[in-house]
Every structure is written in structure tokens, then in C-alpha cells.
A and B are shown apart, each in its own frame.
Chain A
Amino acid sequence: MSETYIWTVVIGMAVANFAVRFPPIAVLSRVALPGWLRRWLSFIPVSVMATLVIGAVARPDGVWLPPAHNPYLLASLATGAIYWRSRSFVGATIAGVLLFVALRAAVG
């Protein structure tokens, strides 16, 4: 993998990321949003997170895994439960990774 290739990707990602983040904040914060749009926006976070979790655990590395033999899915459920009890992102993430390693050995 060449130096130029990696640097091109790094710079391209930096530019692209700011380009998708800044304009919506700059423009939409200057206009009054109608009620229905605010309501729509309030459901975006939970919908995005649910989508990302499913994408990461149902088809890790592009391969569908059966639920009972899917350490990603089982560890994800456990991580969510740990966060629910502890309210600690870092604690739940570390506990989740440890559980994942154990579950992968047990069912994966």
C-alpha cells in the first residue's frame, strides 16, 4: 500500500467529512423549523443507531451469521444491557469487547 494512496485517502476523508457536517448546521440553525420537521428529526438518532448496530452485528465482514452462533449479536445485546445498568460508555464498551472474545470462543 503506497504512501501517496494512504495520504490521498486521509486528506479526502478529512475534506468529505467536514463537507457533510458543517452546511446543515450552518443553514438549518438560521431558519425556523416547522413542528413536523422537528418531530421527524427527533427520531433520527435512535433510527441511525439501530441501523448501525444491525449493520455491524448481523453481517459482520459481509457475512450473515445465524443468531444463535453470532457472537457479535449476543455481545451487542449484553453491551446494551450493561450500558442500561451502568450508564458508562467506556465501561460498557470494554466489557462488551471482553464478552465478545468469550462468546466467540463459546459459540462462534
Chain B
Amino acid sequence: MPVGAAFGIVARDLGFTPLQAVTCSATALAGAGQFIGLALMKSGATALTVVAATTVVNLRYVLFGAAMSPHVSRVPLGGQAILAFTLTDETFAVNIDDNRRGSADAFSMAGVGAIAWVGWVAGTALGALTAGLIGDPSAWGVQFAMPAMFSALLVAQAEDRRHVVIGAVAAALAILLMLTLPADWYVLVTPVLAATLAAVVYR
């Protein structure tokens, strides 16, 4: 919700109407992808470039979807479509955590998705409608809302020592690949390399 509000504020600052900002959050539900889209629009990229770049950043959802798939094998296709639509960094982290504890089923996962959707859309509406009232958004630290949430989500994934080690390896790899690969390719390449290393080392 606070991150949704941050998106609403930044989008309004860029020239979105409140309707456009809310529609974007309600239909894309893309978190980081939406923020990266705004950054590219600000720099004058074409619509095609913006969509392509957010797609590359969001290719991690292919990996998330693959990781979720063993847990939703008994859910019918329509239900899987709904779970796929509400698949975000937050719902993924929460649902994977619930599955690990054995307390997740199709309805609880759909509930997590619904709560996340409402929070994200309501937050965006709140941010978009109040954007004019708060002056310069960066004075309020709006740009840190997304990194703050990711930091918490990262800690939530540290279930045992092996995951802490791989998290640290991925962090180091990310820096290396940010320095060497073009654009935002490190977002996709780093997790693939780190998880492969983990699967080889931890048999």
C-alpha cells in the first residue's frame, strides 16, 4: 500500500491522470516494472521500448511462476489464471513462505492475491489523488518505498544458511553483471546463475 501510493505520486508527477495511474496498477500489478516504466517514460522512450523493458524486468515472473507451479498443480486453469494475474514479488514471497509451513491452499493464495491487489490499487489511488497536496515527492523519500519493500522481502526469503549464502552470492554477482551487461539484463541473468550455482553445490 505505501509503495502503491508512491507509484501514484510519481505517476501524477510525470503527467498521468489519476485514472491512468489507477488503471495501470489495477491491470499490470507489476511493482518494480511500473516504476522502471515511469523512469523510461520520463527519459522520453517510445511506448514500445517502455513495454519491452518492463517485460524484461518482469521476466523474473517466469521463474516465480515456475517455482509456484508445484504448489498449484491441483488448481483448475481458471484459478491458475487468477493466481497468475495476482503474482507479484509480495504475493510470491508470502505464498512461498506459507507453502513452506504447509498452511497454503488455493483459497488462501487467492486471498493473498486479492489483498495485495486491493492494497496496491487503493494505494495508487490515494497517492494519485493527493499528489498535488504534498509538494516535491522526493522530499518525503517516495523513491525509497520500493527498495525498502524489497529489502524486507529479501530477509523473508532467508529460510536457512544455504539461502543466506546464495543471497550474498547473488548480490555480488549482481554488482559484477551491472558493470558488464547492457541495460537491465543483470535482473534476469543474476538469479539464473546464482540458482544454478546453488543447485550444483547444495545437492
Contacts and interface: CB of A to CB of B under 8 A. Distances in A.
A binds B: yes
Which secondary structure dominates where chain B touches chain A?
helix
A100 B146 CA distance: 12
Interface residues on A, range: 35 or more
Contacts of A30: 73
Given A13-B37, A21-B84, A43-B194, A79 B69 contact: no
Contacts of B77: 26
A54 B173 CA distance: 10
B147 A80 contact: no
Contacts of A84: 155
A66 interface: no
Contacts of A94: 2
Contact of A9 (B39, B47, B67): B47
A93 B84 CA distance: 25
Which among A13, A26, A60, A92 has the highest number of chain B CB atoms within 10 Å? A13
B118 interface: no
Contacts of B142: 97
Which among A8, A10, A42 has the highest number of chain B CB atoms within 10 Å? A10
B23 to A, nearest CB: 6
Interface residues of B, number: 95
A6 interface: yes
B69 A28 contact: yes
Contacts of B33: 13, 17
A25 B47 contact: no
B186 interface: yes
Contacts of B191: 44, 47-48, 51
Given A21-B65, A43-B194, A92 B23 contact: no
A75 B144 CA distance: 9
Which among A1, A33, A80 has the highest number of chain B CB atoms within 10 Å? A80
Interface string A9-34: 11111101111111111111110010
Given A51-B190, A54-B175, A43 B141 contact: no
Contacts of B154: 46, 49-50, 52-53, 80
A51 B202 contact: no
Shortest beta-carbon contacts, A-B, top 8? A96-B148, A24-B65, A12-B51, A14-B27, A28-B69, A83-B152, A47-B191, A56-B147
